[in-house]
Amino acid sequence: MTVAVTRSEDTGESPERRPRRGVPNPRLPLPLVSVPTVLLFTGGAMVWTGATWLVVNEAAPLWVTIPLHALVTFTMFTVLHESTHHAAGRLTWVNELLGRLAMPFVAAYGSFPLVRYIHLEHHRNTNEDAHTDPDAWTAHGPWWQLPLRWLTIDFWYARFYVARQRTRPPSERIETAAVVALSLAAFAWLTVSGHGWELLMVYLIPQRVGLAVLAWWFDWLPHHDLGAQRQNRFGATRVRVGLEWLMTPIMLCQNYHLVHHLHPAIPFYRYLRTWRDNRDAYLARDVPIATPWGRELTAAEYREWRRLTGSFDEEPPAPQPLRPSRFHSLRVAEVRPLCEGAVTVTFEVPERLRETFLFTPGQHLVIRAEVDGEEVRRAYSICSTPDSGELRIAIKHQLGGAFSTFATTELAAGDVLDVLPPDGEFTLTPERGRAGRYVALAAGSGITPILSILTATLRNEPNSKATLLYINTSGASTMFADELGALATRLGGRLHVVHYRTDERDPDLRTQRVEKPFDIVGEALAISHERYQRGRLDGTRLRALLQARLHPAKVDDWFLCGPRDLVDMARRTLAERDVPEENVHFELFQGALPVRPSRRPGPTLTVTAGGKTVEIPATVGETVLSAALRHGVDAPYACVGGACGTCRATVVRGSARMDVHYALGDDEVAAGRILTCRAVATSPELAVDYDR
């Protein structure tokens, strides 16, 4: 085959991808029950009992007992806080029980569901105004008001909730009303029976002190003078570094409160480990950092300080400039029919390129070929596993798709295709000691990266389990149907597959396969390895699964691969159930949407690629990539739809706008990264660098 550098207009087969970016996933499994949280509750209850005995028997002065009771308010709030985020363990009933048991020690007149709702509103709207983010009450107003605001945080919570109580579930309102009535009745009885003094000294005054400290340490210290989370989630919460030997136990790890906001489901005692494991990723996003005394540090100052103090390992060497990957000619070893209108293509990888084409499960290849005299580039996920020794992709025919038509009808063993080395971040690297719980959702050819991820992970993680929700029209067009069935059987119940068939005449809907029962993500159910459902997987069905069998607390990672509407629906539904964003990984399949340039003269572009810099003219409305290719620049690209990320570059001078940027996170856009296939210059001169 010959190769020519022209732009492809084929909007067919190739899945265009948006690898999930942003928050690094620490992959710290949640234990069945968080023992430190249980011990913290037990210790707090014991201290409260002892301090109360001292007051009742006048065995210690109040300046000793009041701080002890206030300490209990602080520690019990941590238990309550963990339960709010389902971080007290994978068992839902443990979180519900600990949350309700800890609540009276913090604020007896409030209910656990009420606090959970208010606190999650804080996480959704961090650093907005106090009417949107209830915890912003602690930071607004002049400095002299702040202590008064910290002392009255629960009154503001009450006002915040009352304004919204009509929208809350009936069960939550009933429980809240019952708790308020019972607590007020108890306070009144204690006062009337002559125990008002004990109530004041044992509970009301220490609780007020404890709440003020909580508002100060949980709210004001990590959030004051920072921007809203919706603008930059990495800039809405700070860490307070230094004196960890003292600050971490005193603040119960809230000196690393940023970690909690980025990973709400991680238990408090793992914040510091998470920071250390992922600090380079956080520092790359210029997260807010302060010393215990309030001095703000830049990421560079933090690195230098840690290097000088020797507290952490030496910093890694500075990253080298990126260079566009080079295409390699690979011979096709085999083209095998897969299902109706689909084939698998296996490549021969010569020994000298073995290391170049090593891949992580979930990555994809960019294929370049000439079809009918025109160059086409397509991205296809690798469906084999790294330990198989094969480099294999699957291609499904799409109506009007130039390359998919060629691949499914003419491509044969012995042909040569140009292939870029594996790329993509929609991945999961297996770890043998991990006992993970995974759920994957795929539609059509979205199964290709999912198959590689699930096969490699479940083979190499013998204690892990997975559920696959797989949507197709019928069994005849279902890719890898037999492979999935054999894999589920071979794994002995660690993989459960639910097929959704939109063609109700599909024979599989009438002939159910029945095999031995499977334990679905940790919950024993008498169902087979594979089962079949009529119709699509919509939001209603997914919510029912989340409620019954796929409770978010029992799933470590979600992998979504399919059309944009399906992926968006799943992401919204998971967000509604408070699934942490870093636990949801997705790729989009979407047709390319070319931008048609105008004939009028436009901006001047300066393009650097492969170490060479050229200055070229562009027309009004023309994308950077289109102009570069038109003038012979060997710029990297694949999908031309803003999803695969192959054409990313950095703006050096000038400005550009993108209509879509699926493959870039907001932090990358803010740092000047663009997808040149969707970027149009908005300044008279624009300089971009593919090598940065």
- Residues 72-83 have pLDDT tens digits of 999 999 999 999
CA-to-CA dists, residue 267 to 38, 84, 406, 592, angstroms? 12, 11, 52, 42
Mean pLDDT calculated for residue range 510-529: 45
Report the length, in residues, of the chain: 692
Is the per-residue pLDDT at 18 higher than 50?
Answer: no
What are the two backbone dihedrals, phi and then psi, of residue 22, each rounded to the nearest 5 degrees? 110, -115
Band the pLDDT of 34: cuts 50, 70, 90: very high
Other CB atoms within a 10 A radius of the CB of residue 619 amount to 16
360 closest CA partner among 397, 391, 406, 398: 391
**How far lies 386's CA from each of 207, 266, 453, in Å?**
57, 30, 10
Question: What does the pLDDT read at residue 384?
Answer: 94
Give me the pLDDT at residue 512, please. Answer: 53
Higher pLDDT: 408 or 313? It is 408
3-state secondary structure of 56: helix
- pLDDT tens per residue across span 586-598: 887 654 444 444 4
Tokens of 24: 């690094």
**Phi, psi at residue 650, to the nearest 5°?**
-115, 135
Confidence band for 517, pLDDT divided at 50, 70 and 90: very low
Please answer whether residues 650 and 688 qualify as being in contact, where contact means their C-beta atoms are separated by less than 8 angstroms. Answer: yes
Helix, strand, or coil here: 518? strand
Whether 519 shows a pLDDT value over 50: the answer reads no
pLDDT for residue 364 is more than 80 = yes
d(CA 105, CA 99): 11
Own/partner pairs, 540-544, CB within 8 angstroms, 24+ separation: 542/569, 542/570, 542/573, 543/573, 543/576, 543/577
Predicted local distance difference test score (pLDDT) of residue 644:
73
CB 126 within 8 A of CB 236: yes
In tens, the pLDDT along 186-217 reads: 999 999 999 999 999 999 999 999 999 999 99
Tokens of 59: 């065995």
Mean residue pLDDT of the chain comes to: 84
Rounded to the nearest 10 degrees, how much is the dihedral formed by the CA atoms of 183, 184, 186, 187? Answer: 120
The yes-or-no verdict on residue 601 having pLDDT over 70 is no
Residue 317 confidence (pLDDT) above 70: no
pLDDT at residue 237 tops 60: yes
What average pLDDT does range 449-462 have in this prediction?
94
Section 411-416 average pLDDT = 92
pLDDT in tens, 542-573: 999 988 888 887 888 999 998 888 988 999 99
Q: Which of 339, 338, 337, 359 is nearest to 419 (CA)?
A: 359
For the segment 456-476, the average pLDDT, to the nearest whole number, is 92
Element (H, E) at 647: none
Q: Where is pLDDT greater, at 2 or 390? A: 390
Under 8 Å between Cβ of 658 and 674: yes
Which domains are delineated in the chain? Answer: 328-419 (2.40.30.10), 437-589 (3.40.50.80), 601-689 (3.10.20.30)
Within 8 A by CB and 6+ apart from 105, the residues are: 44, 45, 48, 72, 73, 76
Amino acid at 171: S
Q: What is the pTM of this model?
A: 0.60
Mean pLDDT of 337-349: 93
Average pLDDT over residues 447-452: 94
Here the tokens at position 386 are: 């790294």
The HSE-up count of residue 198 (CA atoms within 13 Å, CB side) is 18
566 closest CA partner among 586, 550, 546 = 586
Residue 231 in this model has a pLDDT that exceeds 90:
no
Q: How far apart are CA 545 and CA 562, in angstroms?
A: 19
